[in-house]
C-alpha cells in the first residue's frame, strides 16, 4: 500500500509541474475513443506544444488546487477524463481538439481554462472558429493603417488640387498678359 500512495503523490507532483507555463487547459470525456485514435490526437497536438493526457480525476483536482486553478474547473472532472495541456498558442491546440471531436462522436469537450477563466464548450468552439493569431494581428494592423492611408490620400489630394489651381491661374495670367 505505501508504494501506491507514493506513486499517487509522484503523479500529482508531475501533473502540478506540467501546469507551469501553461496557456490553457481543456478537459474532455473520451468514453469509447480507442487508444489508437487518442495517439492520433496526441500526434496532432505535439507540434503545437500541446499534450493530451489521461488523468485520474481526484489526482487532477489535487494538482489543480496546488496551482490555484481550482476556481470551478475541478467540477468538470467526472467519468473518464482527458486533459489537454496547452503550453503554446491556446487556440491552436483547441482547433485540433474541436476538429477531432467532430470526427469522433465519443469525444466530448467539457470545459476549458484559459487566462484564469473557466470557459464552456460552446464558447471554446466559438474561439476555435476564429482565424489564427497571425491572421487576426495582420487584420488588426490593416484596420489601424486604413485611416492613416485615407488621411494621407486626402492630404495629397488637397496638394494636387492646389497645384492644379495655381497652374490654371498662371495660365490665365499668361493669356491675359
pLDDT at 126 over 70: yes
**Pair 58, 137: CB distance under 8 Å:** no
For the chain, give the percent of residues with pLDDT over 70: 95
pLDDT of residue 43: 92
CA 132/CA 48 separation, integer angstroms: 13
pLDDT of residue 19: 82
Neighbours of 107 (CB within 10 A): 21
pLDDT of residue 89: 81
**Pair 38, 82: CB distance under 8 Å:** yes
Question: For residue 58, what are the CA distances in angstroms to 5, 31, 175?
Answer: 13, 18, 96
Question: For residue 174, what are the CA distances in angstroms to 52, 162, 164, 167, 169?
Answer: 83, 18, 15, 11, 9
119 Cβ contact partners less than 8 Å away, ≥ 6 residues apart: 111, 112, 113, 127
Q: What are phi and psi of 43, to 5 degrees?
A: -65, -35
pLDDT of residue 133: 76
Neighbours of 167 (CB within 10 A): 10
- Tens of pLDDT, residue by residue over 31-72, are 888 889 999 999 999 998 888 888 888 888 888 888 887 677
User: Of the spans 21-25, 68-72, 157-161, which averages the highest pLDDT?
Assistant: 21-25
- Tens of pLDDT, residue by residue over 95-106, are 899 999 988 888
pLDDT at 1 over 50: no
User: Of the spans 1-10, 80-89, 145-154, which averages the highest pLDDT?
Assistant: 80-89
If one looks up domain 2-130 in CATH, what number appears?
Answer: 3.30.70.1730
Neighbours of 87 (CB within 10 A): 17
pLDDT of residue 74: 79
Question: pLDDT category, 92, cuts 50, 70, 90?
Answer: confident
CA 142/CA 159 separation, integer angstroms: 25
Q: Which residue has the cell 490620400?
A: 153
Amino acid at each position: 500500500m505505501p508504494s501506491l500512495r507514493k506513486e499517487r503523490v509522484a503523479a500529482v507532483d508531475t501533473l502540478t509541474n506540467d501546469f507551469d507555463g501553461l496557456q490553457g487547459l481543456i478537459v474532455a470525456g473520451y468514453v469509447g475513443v480507442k487508444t489508437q485514435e487518442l495517439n492520433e490526437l496526441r500526434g496532432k497536438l505535439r507540434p503545437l506544444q500541446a499534450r493530451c493526457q489521461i488523468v485520474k480525476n481526484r489526482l487532477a483536482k489535487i494538482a489543480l488546487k496546488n496551482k490555484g486553478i481550482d476556481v470551478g474547473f475541478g467540477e468538470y472532472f467526472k467519468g473518464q477524463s482527458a486533459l489537454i495541456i496547452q503550453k503554446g498558442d491556446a487556440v491552436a491546440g483547441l482547433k485540433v481538439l474541436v476538429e477531432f471531436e467532430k470526427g469522433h462522436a465519443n469525444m466530448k469537450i467539457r470545459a476549458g481554462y484559459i487566462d484564469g477563466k473557466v470557459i464552456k464548450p460552446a464558447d471554446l468552439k466559438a474561439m476555435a472558429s476564429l482565424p489564427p493569431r497571425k491572421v487576426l494581428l495582420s487584420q488588426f494592423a490593416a484596420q489601424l493603417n486604413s485611416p492613416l492611408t485615407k488621411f494621407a490620400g486626402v492630404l495629397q489630394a488637397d496638394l494636387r488640387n492646389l497645384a492644379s489651381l495655381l497652374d490654371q491661374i498662371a495660365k490665365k495670367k499668361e493669356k491675359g498678359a
